[in-house]
Every structure is written in C-alpha cells, then in structure tokens.
Amino acid sequence: MRYSHVFISAVIIAFCASAEAQQKSRSMADQRLYDLARTNLPAFAKEVSKGTSSELGETRAIVLWLAQHFDWKETDYQKRTVQQVIERGGGNCNDLAMVALATMKELKIKVRRVRDVHIRNESVERGQRAQALVKEKGNRYSVFGRHHNDHVWLEVYDSKANDWFPADPWSGVVGTQDWLKTRVWFGRRSSLNPDAPEMIVPFAIFAEDAEGEFTIDQTRHYLVDGFDRIYGNELHESAAWKEWVTMLDFLSQKVKGAFAGSVNLLEYAPEIDRLAATYEQLRAAARSEAGGS
C-alpha cells in the first residue's frame, strides 16, 4: 500500500509537471502573438488568422483570440487609441471592438461597428449613476440606466454570401446563428465574458454609416426576423409578438435619438420595463409550446 501511494504521487507529480510545461508553452506562444500585436499589427493579423481562407474564418480567429487573451475592464470613460488598448491588455466592449476592427482592416476585411441597447438585470445604483451623468454630460449618456445598457460589437461583410454577419470580441461570438443564441433566445447561452448573464436581450441595434454615425437600423433584422427564425418561424404566432414588434419600433427610434444626443432615454424607463415584461411573455409562450421544457 505504501508503494502504491509513492507510485501514485510520482504519477501525479509527473502529470502536473507535464501540464505546467504545456501551459508554459501555450503562454509563450500567446505572449509572442501579444508582442506582435503591440509592435506590428499587420503581422499579428496575418499570424493569428493563419490557415483561414474566408472572411468568416479570419474573423473567427481574430475575435476568439482577443476574447480569450484580452482582459475585460469596466468602462472608465477614457478615450484610448488602438495601441493604448493593446498596451493595456484589454478594455470594455468598445475597446475590444476597436482592436478587432483595426486587425481586420489589416486583412482588407470590410467591417463596421455596431451598437445595441439591451435589457439588463435591474440596478438602482446604475440608474442613479446614469441620471448624474446625463445631467452632467448630456443625453448620450442615457444609453445605460436602471434596466438597460449599451454594447458595442462588429458586423463583417461576407463577400460570398453578399451579407453582413455579427462578430463580438467581447463574447467571442461570430456568425448570425451563434449571435442569436448568445443574445436573444431563451435557452442556455454561452459567452467568454463573465458579464453575459446580466444581459437579457437587445431592443435596438444600429450599425455605423459611412460618416461614423450609428444610423443603419438593424433592429428588425436581428430582433424580429432572426428571433422568429431560430424558433422555426413560429414565435410570431405568440399573443405577445405584436407588442414585441411595436415596442421595438418605438424604442429603437428613441435609442437612435439618444445616440445623436437629442433624446434622454431615461425618460422612457416605463416603456423599457414594458418591453422586458413582453420578452418574458414570449419566453413563457415558447416554453408552453415546447411542453414546459
């Protein structure tokens, strides 16, 4: 029995040493890529996407690497360049999107920023901070509040499909189906970001136009057509669907105004609460249709 313990201990030590060496090797490879990003972004773009042959493959390689190796940091309202974000080793959703966008452009990928405002778990403290910021700095800061928040990601143009697909370096999600199953549907969701459970569902989505303004309305594309599609085009038969679409149309225009600084979104807190309740009604209907599963 004593010999057995010694043998088992030796095996465990050897296994741990092997795992440590493997981890060290991975870390060295990751450090090399990080150093390359800091000193030569074009070379980093080519290296991290090596072996891919499409916009989708290149995008997935870039987004996954950034999501896995850059730290998520809370918004501190400091403006940073791409280089500063890389040197910092992370940032908020907008910072990570900036780095991903710059990297993709080195590969001549057609890409644009996207901004959504979503229902979020309620926080009185966040609502109070939002009120103070709006009073101090204006309506653009009303995109977050007690029951909502904003988020930045990307859309990438697929030349073969002649269409745009989502890419989110904050969550590591690439592709429309995966995005819908991370941000919209009622089932179990997966994300590389620990903040994901706080985010319930977007209610306004705008892509950036040629002037850099968020004016291209993608709300219905994702939250009506896409949402219904992942439920077999049957979700629209729910009694709450008409209310869902009506509230999306109403609130998305208020969000567009908030992005432009002309609307205080905090004034529409009752409507945001109402939309959150409608989403839960849709969830209940979907569960009932599925037999309570």
Q: Which of 81, 108, 135 corresponds to the end of one domain?
A: 108
Residue pair 258/143 in contact by the 8 Å Cβ criterion? yes
Q: How many CA atoms are closer than 13 Å to the CA of 180, on its beta-carbon side?
A: 16
- Kindly state whether residues 52 and 187 are assigned to the same domain: no
pLDDT of residue 5: 42
- Kindly state whether residues 154 and 287 are assigned to the same domain: yes
- Kindly state whether residues 86 and 126 are assigned to the same domain: no
**Which residue positions in the chain have pLDDT lower than 50?**
1-26, 293
pLDDT tens, residue by residue, 180-193: 999 999 998 888 88
Q: What residues contact residue 63 under an 8 Å CB cut-off, 6+ apart? A: 100, 167, 168, 169, 172, 173, 174
- Kindly state whether residues 54 and 114 are assigned to the same domain: no
pLDDT of residue 73: 84
Q: Token pair for residue 291?
A: 């037999």
Domain of residue 3: give its range.
1-108
- Kindly state whether residues 143 and 255 are assigned to the same domain: yes
- Kindly state whether residues 15 and 124 are assigned to the same domain: no
pLDDT of residue 107: 97
pLDDT of residue 292: 52
- Kindly state whether residues 159 and 44 are assigned to the same domain: no
Q: Which of 71, 88, 108 corresponds to the end of one domain?
A: 108
- Kindly state whether residues 30 and 172 are assigned to the same domain: no
- Kindly state whether residues 196 and 88 are assigned to the same domain: no
- Kindly state whether residues 236 and 210 are assigned to the same domain: yes
pLDDT of residue 53: 87
- Kindly state whether residues 173 and 261 are assigned to the same domain: yes
Give the chain's domain count: 2
CA angle 58, 63, 67 (to 5 degrees): 155
CA distances from 38 to 35, 82, 91, 216 (A): 5, 10, 15, 32
Q: Which of 92, 108, 124 corresponds to the end of one domain?
A: 108
pTM (global) more than 0.75: yes
Residue pair 238/280 in contact by the 8 Å Cβ criterion? no
- Kindly state whether residues 122 and 241 are assigned to the same domain: yes
